[in-house]
Structure 1
């Protein structure tokens, strides 16, 4: 998604006249309101059904239900969210909206002359946040996989009476032989040798096979 592309927008606004102003301002910038809802109830399901590129919410202040629905959306089907607040909110309210996934929080409602810059800012912030979130998820995954490999090495060292380098070499060779990721082999070893897994001669033969 780029801010220069026409966006398909889900609009939340319970004021028809105000919604028409928002719709017209967005249309002038090449964007399309594909769906309008009076409130954020069922927001995640609505996004799954309509597949908008962005969600715009125009209301006085974000209430508790709106914040909860935005948080759910941000967790399961994140989209850039622009919130046009028609009343000034305190710092805590704005922070709560940002934590719920709002990419741009605009006080005093929508002003047509600012639509383009607001949309651009929201998309840029959303993309930056998603990039950071993806990097964090990849880091966590890598850490968890490293823990599995380290545990598997420890089990092999104990079982086979070998050193760490040898245990790792056995894991790596098995991964190459089976055309599988190292962490898959590590999990297999853990399943066989960890307490509660396979024991005795069966476990011994399985370690030989896997390694």
Structure 2
């Protein structure tokens, strides 16, 4: 299953302008190792993109299954761009960094990072890391959808209760008779009971 994953890596340019910049050289080497590890593990690395204002558009075109942020944790701009770019279409985000300062972990996870990996990058670790990240993301999405469904059901129930109350007050119906009337109207119009109830409340509000 993991072999078919379409992965985009968000990382700085590998080109090192200053041959004496040891930090840039180390970052470039680690970034190369990550990409080689992905390929060696059979993952589908579809693109490497910079973290810029065009990231959302590019991700929208590529439609990756998973995003890897390859950056030092102090480079928060990269993470912010990725989070903004995936706000409308959530995807698992894995962040690899050499920075051992774990004070940023909580903020990163709160921002939407599925896995935050500090140092110790090796080809052997990549597959289990991404497997766990995908499993965790799917579990969280399942919980998110379940919560959204429960909230939606609660809102619909309140709308139906308001509409029943209106019918009971204006037409002197029992609660069951009011609900039956809403249900018949919904069946006749091919709508859900909550939709009919909301339309009736809208009309009532309009007429006063």
**TM bracket (short chain):** 0.7 to 0.9
Q: Under a length normalisation based on structure 1, what TM-score does the superposition of the two structures give?
A: 0.84
Are 1:168 and 2:171 matched, yes or no? no
Are 1:148 and 2:148 matched, yes or no? no
Note the C-alpha offset of 1:74. Answer: 4.2
Corresponding position of 1:88:
100
Are 1:198 and 2:196 matched, yes or no? no
Gaps of 5+ in 2: 15-27
Are 1:68 and 2:77 matched, yes or no? no
Q: 1:181 aligns with which of 175, 192, 201?
A: 192
- CA shift in 2, pair 1:116/1:28, >3 Å: same
Deviates more, 1:8-17 or 1:67-76: 67-76
Gaps of 5+ in 1: 200-211
Does the 8 Å CA contact 1:25/1:112 hold for their aligned counterparts? yes
Does the 8 Å CA contact 1:88/1:108 hold for their aligned counterparts? yes
Greater RCO structure (CA 8 Å; 6+ sep): 2
Alpha-carbon distance in 2 for matches of 1:185, 1:135: 24
Note the C-alpha offset of 1:189. Answer: 0.8
Note the C-alpha offset of 1:109. Answer: 5.5
Corresponding position of 1:13:
11
User: Aligned pairs, how many?
Assistant: 194
Corresponding position of 1:36:
48
Does the 8 Å CA contact 2:92/2:134 hold for their aligned counterparts? yes
Alpha-carbon distance in 2 for matches of 1:155, 1:70: 48
Does the 8 Å CA contact 1:11/1:37 hold for their aligned counterparts? yes
Alpha-carbon distance in 1 for matches of 2:58, 2:163: 45
1:169-194 CA deviation, whole Å, 9 max, x = no partner? 11011112222110111011111213
> SS of the counterpart of 1:60?
coil
Does the 8 Å CA contact 2:69/2:78 hold for their aligned counterparts? no
- CA shift in 2, pair 1:163/1:152, >3 Å: same
